[in-house]
Every structure is written in structure tokens, then in C-alpha cells.
Amino acid sequence: MQSGTTSSGHASSGAHSVTISKGRSVAAVLALSLGCFSFVSTELMPVGVLPSMAAGLNVSLGVAGYLVTIFAFMVAITAAPLTSLLGSINRKALMAGLLAACFAGNLITYLAADYFVVFIGRILVAGAIGVFWSTAVVTAVHLVASRNAVRATSVVFGGVSLATVLGVPAGTILGEMYTWRAVFAALCFLSLAVFTLIVWSVPAVRISKAAKSGAMRSVLRNRNLLAVFGITALVVTGNFLAYTYITPYLEQIAGQSASQISMLLLVYGAAGVITNFAVGPFAAKSPRTSLGVVAALFAISLASVNLAVGSHAAVFIAIAAWGAAYGALPVLLQTLVFKEASKIHGGADAATAINVSVFNAAIGLGSLLGGLMINMAGAKPIPYVAAGFALAGLLAVMASREK
């Protein structure tokens, strides 16, 4: 990956002023990946316990789904300004503080007596995840040799995929066994564990180049980066329009039992984890072509979900293909962001922060549209509308050309 070399070159005056062993570097990258796992599990957990959470808070499915919407829009609004404000803090203190906020937000949600208090807890975590997500990949790339930049990116984003393969399904099972509150209690313990690992492994290093004045403006004027941001907006909106309401869809339209739904969520996430890591070599060699292939699979798999209803095996295949396609997308999109941002002095954090904002705005828009649809027309039309966004993303990939 071209940007890995450039980023590591920048690190020589920033991150690498503190020498750390290879083992500690690996531990730090894994800690950052687990941080993403904790945050994304917290962000998406309402997906797995949506019916019980709605019942427990005395709100509709659509309103409960807006907990994902509110969270994502908050991240979109705060990611870039908070990253700019806090990016100069040494990365040990920054990452540890963000995990502490994750713990506090989950604790508030666990103790919440009503929907409004849950809303407050979610807002707290949302403010933290935007900064963490914006800086975690950049930090990881600075802590490894340039030849390992794509691998570090895949490992950190692997935490995002693992949140779907382990976090959400495990939360679904825990919620069925106990209550949705038990899920957020478990997330409190997870946040504390990751906090401890980050304090031990991540060096107290500043990446001063990240805060270069004017980098944000340069990023926003770059046509190639704007194209990537547009593709991100389309495919992520399509994914979360469907994924946020996958549990009621599988229950009401596909006729799946609670145990089958948990298994299908596991399949979706497992397929995503596999492609998250498998796509690395392709991302390094030809990210744009790979993105086109994956976007095509993404659109086809979403369009086939309704057609698969009636056969558990067909639903299994459609969900697996959907998860596999979506799992590869963040690595490919972030690789393209890094590749282009490497041409802008101090552009890595700025471009990643904007990509995170776009990504989460799309999560919010997708879950909002899905909530409106499920309240007005039920769950059945959702996969087709999601496939429409995925197809638009594919067309945008085909239309974009590196200049």
C-alpha cells in the first residue's frame, strides 16, 4: 500500500521517536483492534436485541432502531472536529480516555430507567467512537513497518468485523438468556479489559503531523477522495438500511427461529471476518478493481435476500454472501483513502476523520430509512431498497477514475 510507506515516513519524526519492541507493537495493534471491537459492538448492539430493547423501553421497533441512528449521526457530526481538537494528545492517553468513555456510556445504558437516559449513554459513547475510529488505524500504521501497513489496517478493521461475528450474535444470545441490560453490563467489562490492554501496550507518543493546518481543506478539495467518500456513503447506507432490522426481518419475513437468527448473524459476521483479512493482498495491489468486484457481490447478495425466503439454505447463502461482501468494503475503502491522503501533507488523520463521519452518517441514514420503512410498510421491502443503494455504489465505483 503506497500510503503505508508515506505514513511510516511521517512516523519517523513522530510515532517512532519512541522505540518499542516488535512484540509490543503487535500487542498495541491488537489492542486497537479490540478497541474497535468494543466500540462497534456497543454501536450495533441494539441490532441484536432490538425487539427486547423496544419492549423493555416501551417504544416501537422503529424508535428502538433510532438508537443506532442517533448514535451514528452523532459520530458523523463530532468525528472530524473532535479528532482535530484531540489529535495532538499522546495516543496512550487518548485511546485510554476514549475507552473510559465507552465504559461510562455502557454503564449509563445498563442503569437507564427510560429511553431518554439510554439516549444520553449512547451520545457519550458516540462522541468517543468517532475519535477512536479516526485515529486507531492511523496510529496502528505508524507503529509498524511500512510493508505491514495494509496488514495493520486489516487487523484494526478486523475488530469491526469481529463485532458482527462475535459481538452482536453473543449479545443476542445473552439477551435471550437474560435481558438486554445484561448485554450492556458485559460491554462494561469488555471496555475495562481493553482499557487495561491499551494502557499497557500503546506507547505515549504524539503523531504531530496529523494536526497540520489546512489538511482538512486539502482533503475536501481532492476529487479522488470525494469519490471514495461518495461510494462509502452509498454502500454503507444500503448495508445498514437492511442490517439494522435484520432480526425482525428474519423473524417476520423469513420465518426463522431465535436460534436460527443467532446462527445467521454469526454466519454474516464470520464471512465478513474472512474477507476482511483475505482482501488485504488485493487491497495492496489493485484496490479500485477489487472494490468494483466486491461492490457487485454486495448488490447481488442484497437483491437476492427476498428471493431466498422459503429456504433456510438459500437464506444462509444470501446472508453469507452479503456478510462476505460487506466485510471487505471497509479495508478497500480505507486503503483508497490512505493512498490518496498520502499525497497531502498531514492528510491521513483528516481524511480518515472525514471518512468516519461519512461512514457513520450513512449508518444513521440507513437505519433511519429502514426504521421509517418498517413502521410504514413492514420489513419485506427493505432488502430491495438496500440493494438499490448498493447498486448506486457499484455504479459510482465504475464511474470513478483515478486522476
**Planar angle of CA 306, 63, 361, nearest 5 degrees:** 75
Environment class of 213 (CB within 10 Å of its CB; exposed 0-12, middle 13-18, buried 19+): exposed
Q: CA gyration radius for the chain?
A: 20
| pLDDT for residue 401 | 65
On average, the pLDDT of the chain sits at 84
Cα–Cα distances in Å, from 111 out to 47, 104, 117, 180? 19, 11, 9, 11
Burial 23-36 (b: 16+ CB within 10 A, else e): ebbbbbbbbbbbbb
| pLDDT for residue 402 | 56
| pLDDT for residue 102 | 95
Nearest to 36 by CA among 190, 179, 189, 245: 190
Q: Which cell numbers hold the place of 41?
A: 459492538
pLDDT of 21 > 80? The answer is no
The whole-model pTM stands at: 0.77
Rounded Cα gap, residues 130 and 11, in angstroms: 22
Q: Rounded mean pLDDT of 360-380?
A: 87
CB 107 within 8 A of CB 182: no
- The predicted-structure confidence for 191-209, as pLDDT tens digits, reads as follows 999 999 999 998 887 765 5
| pLDDT for residue 346 | 67
| pLDDT for residue 339 | 82
105 vs 133 pLDDT, higher one:
105
Q: Rounded mean pLDDT of 329-355?
A: 80
Environment class of 399 (CB within 10 Å of its CB; exposed 0-12, middle 13-18, buried 19+): exposed
